[in-house]
Amino acid sequence: MLIYKEASIRGAWIQWFICTLLSLLHGVISETNTTLDIMTKYPLIDGHNDLALRLRMHFKNKLSNFSIHDNSNFATDIRRLAAGHVGGQVFAAYVLCTAQDKDAVRLTLEQIDVIRRMCTENPEMELVTTAEGMRNSTKIACLISIEGGHSIDSSLPALRMFYQLGVRSMALTHNCNTPWAESSASLYPNYQRKNNSLTDFGKAVVNEMNRLGMLVDLSHSSWETARSVLKHSTAPVLFSHSSAYAICNNVRNIPDDLLLLLKENGGLIMVNFYSSFVACSHNANVSIVADHFDHIKRVIGAESIGIGADYDGAQGFPKGLEDVSKYPALIEELISRNWTEEELAGVLRLNFLRVFRKVEKVRDELLHISPSEVEISLSELNNSCRVMLIHPGLPKSSHQNGNAPLMPVKALICFVLLWIQLQ
């Protein structure tokens, strides 16, 4: 009888264990199915990807030597973008800060060229320039951004020409200051001076971006620059790949007071996945990334959040989020934290489309405004490559290094000296 009871207890325990395991598996399968259903209905728009940088570093932008469909050496390829349910990707045209005041404009043009070629030569991808184009695309919609204001060489005409080439977003800084805006980093000596958060010319850049309908990107900008832009811009702005400072105290992340200003502005923060920005270490997982989403949601609401993972830019991503195929792992984690389908639809794509449409609406309201002719003063620059265009008949010495002609000044001095002698 004792043996029978022990067997009965053991059988009951095994039955309980199996039922519990099946219940857990059912929950996991249910969450996975819900994730895939939501991401199929609302394909992700990611705010920042640096694949173009990898193409330059490893292939010198020669697409004929690169398989974009399947390349395990990078975090991004078409096969894994499809697996990650990516319906839109903002690709960054980025050049190093060491090109500032040198050939940054040329290099940026080359990066724009390789993005345009990549997105027009592959049938799975489509180059878009409007919110409507991104919303309606049935392919992987590509939007071009410039990462770093040094790419325009402090020239509003250059900014306008980049817009004509399809650029719809620009980060005001990268890891170096420009003459008119301040970076969150101090890695380079460029334009390290006081009161450089947003100069008058910097405000003119923001104004012209508002007029054009170009997204102002504040990732990489200093908090003071971000604060100034948020108070100045008439259109919503975004942080294309930044996370919450309250979770990880890195200056590339955004503190709560700036999040509140972003809410007032109607803009968007697209959360970065880079381990050093989400965990302040190389030991990160999906849960800590989700903590950033939870925190930002508590402070300003889910409607102000997107995803800007920074794949192929940063090195070192959380376990479970190693490449562009892994986005569903994050959405599944957020579902387990009771995020609703409406909130996730916003995070995945609708929030970005709303902000982009509002930027275009501000553009339409400013159609009566002529293109800005504001120029940065030469005293704000430190660029020996910049010259003043003067009639070639004038003496060479009068226009080297951007100096004004000296002949009228010399003539005036001679006249004054002669007049003194005659007195």
Catalytic residue among 126, 217, 310, 360: 310
- Radius of gyration of the chain from Cα atoms? 27
Candidate list 48, 85, 150, 399, residue with the active-site label: 48
| Dihedral sign computed on CA atoms, order 356, 112, 310, 325 | positive
- Name the one residue in this structure whose structure tokens are 């849960």: 287
| Contact predicate 236/359, CB 8 Å | yes
Annotated active-site residue in 85, 220, 292, 399: 220
Catalytic residue among 85, 150, 174, 292: 174
Phi, psi for residue 217 in degrees, rounded to 5: -105, 125
**pLDDT for residue 402:** 45
Distance, CA of 409 to CA of 395 (rounded, Å): 14
Is residue 126 annotated as a catalytic residue, yes or no? no
In three-state form (DSSP H/G/I as H, E/B as E, the rest C), the secondary structure along the chain is: CHHHHHHHHHHHHHHHHHHHHHHHHHHHHHHHHHHHHHHHHCCEEEEEECHHHHHHHHHCCCHHHCCCCCCCCCCCCHHHHHHCCEEEEEEEECCCHHHCCCCHHHHHHHHHHHHHHHHHCCCCEEECCCHHHHHHCCCEEEEEEEECHHHHCCCHHHHHHHHHCCEEEEECCCCCCCCCECECCCCCCCCCCCCCCECHHHHHHHHHHHHHCCEEECCCECHHHHHHHHHHCCCCCEECCCCECCCCCCCCCECHHHHHHHHHHCCEEEECCCHHHHCCCCCCEHHHHHHHHHHHHHHHCHHHEEECCCECCCCCCCECCCCHHHHHHHHHHHHHCCCCHHHHHHHHHHHHHHHHHHHHHHHHHCCCCCCCCCCCCHHHCCCCCCCCCCCCCCCHHHCHHHCCCCHHHHHHHHHHHHHHHHC
Residues of the chain short of pLDDT 50, as ranges, are 2-4, 19, 21-26, 28, 397-407, 409-418, 420
What pLDDT score was predicted for residue 8?
Answer: 58
Q: Return the pLDDT at 210.
A: 98
CA distance 378 to 380: 5
Give one word for 176, left, alpha or beta, with left for phi > 0 and alpha for psi -120 to 50: beta
Task: List the catalytic residue out of 46, 50, 153, 182.
Answer: 50
- Phi then psi for residue 374, to 5 deg, are -65, 135
Q: What pLDDT does residue 371 have?
A: 98
Rounded Cα distance between 168 and 145, Å, is: 6
Q: Residue 237: name the closest of 268, 259, 213 by CA.
A: 268
Express each pLDDT in 100-131 by its tens digit. Answer: 999 999 999 999 999 999 999 999 999 999 99
Q: What is the pTM of this model?
A: 0.86
d(CA 91, CA 339) in angstroms, rounded, equals 28
Decide: 39 and 32 in contact? Cβ < 8 Å: no
Reply yes or no on whether 113 is catalytic: no
What distance separates the 2 farthest-apart alpha carbons in the chain?
138
Sequence-distant (6+) residues with CB within 8 A of 318 are 273, 275, 278, 279, 284, 285, 286, 288, 289
Catalytic residue selected from 85, 126, 182, 241: 241
Alpha-carbon distances of 99 from 107, 375, 413, rounded to whole Å: 8, 21, 41
Active site residue 241: yes
Partner residues linked to 307 by β-bridges: 46, 271
Please identify which residue in the block is written with the tokens 């096969």.
Answer: 79
Q: Would you call 220 a catalytic residue per the annotation? A: yes
Residues 6 or more apart whose CB falls under 8 angstroms from that of 386 comprise 101, 153, 378, 402
Active site residue 174: yes
147, 291, 312, 360: which is the annotated catalytic residue? Answer: 147
| Annotation marks residue 85 as catalytic | no
For residue 223, the one-letter residue type is W
Look at residue 24 in the predicted model and tell me its pLDDT: 46
Active-site residue, 48 included: yes
